[in-house]
Amino acid sequence: MARYFDVHPENPQRRAIGQVVGILREDGLIAYPTDSCFALGCQLGNRQGIDRIRSIRKLDDRHHFTLVCQDFAQLGQFVHVDNAVFRAVKASTPGSYTFILPATKEVPRRLLHAKKKTVGVRIPDHVVTQALLGELGEPLLSSTLLLPDQEEPMTQGWDIKERLEHVVDAVIDSGECGVEPTTVIDFSSGEPEIVRRGAGDTSRFE
């Protein structure tokens, strides 16, 4: 049965954030809000958590997971970013963008795109997510909370709790979340390729 945390959107309660991070550190899987929409998240090394996300969303092994990072310094530990790409990514973060980039050796192989050896990374502009990441001290392995029988991500914390209470360990509710996933930009070839148009403005990448 999932635990439900009602968290203030601008001043997240430290005790609640600490409890959620405790669940993550015990290999828990959470549903949490971001600056684009709700996401499923677990620790980077949580193998079972990855399998649970795949099961909930009915994903195959070609799916790009996203490492949700607190800041640019953390992001740089997990992906290779050359100077030209650095400027473009830095100008767009924090924000509703996911960037696909070549992964460093810090990223477990099972999370990489099978052929390209890439991974998605993002820095969210969301107070509650940032509080979680700050307390956790490492990226959250994440995927948009879009269920296979739905066309749009879920937006209400209480609804997520009712629907997923037997398949996740915690739900964070900080008010209604958006329905538009991040804009996805693939920089793995060095040039920006718009993979998905979402919440982030694509004009600077066209």
CATH number at residue 106: 3.90.870.10
Contact yes or no for 143/66 (Cβ under 8 A): yes
Helix, strand, coil fractions of the chain, as percent rounded to 5: 30, 20, 50
- Please compute the mean of the pLDDT values over residues 110-127 and round it to a whole number: 90
Split into its structural domains, the chain has a count of: 1
Q: What global pTM score does this model have? A: 0.95
* Residue 36: closest CA among 120, 121, 126: 126
pLDDT at 114: 72
The tokens for 168 are 């996740």
At residue 115 the predicted structure's pLDDT band, cuts being 50, 70 and 90, is confident
Whole-angstrom CA distances from 199 to 20, 27, 148, 174 are 26, 30, 21, 19
pLDDT at 109: 86
Contact yes or no for 103/190 (Cβ under 8 A): no
Q: How many CA atoms lie within 13 A of 196 on its CB side?
A: 15
Tens of pLDDT, residue by residue over 47-96, are 999 999 999 999 987 787 899 999 999 999 999 999 989 999 999 999 99
Q: Measured at the alpha carbon of residue 13, what is the angle toward residues 165 and 78, in degrees to the nearest 5?
A: 75
Task: Round to whole Å and give the CA distance between 119 and 66.
Answer: 7
At residue 100 the predicted structure's pLDDT band, cuts being 50, 70 and 90, is very high
The residue segments making up the domain with residue 117 are 3-205
Residues composing the chain: 206
Tens of pLDDT, residue by residue over 17-29, are 999 999 999 999 9
State the helix-helix crossing angle for 14-25 and 127-136, rounded to 10 degrees. 50
Identity at 102, one-letter amino acid code: P
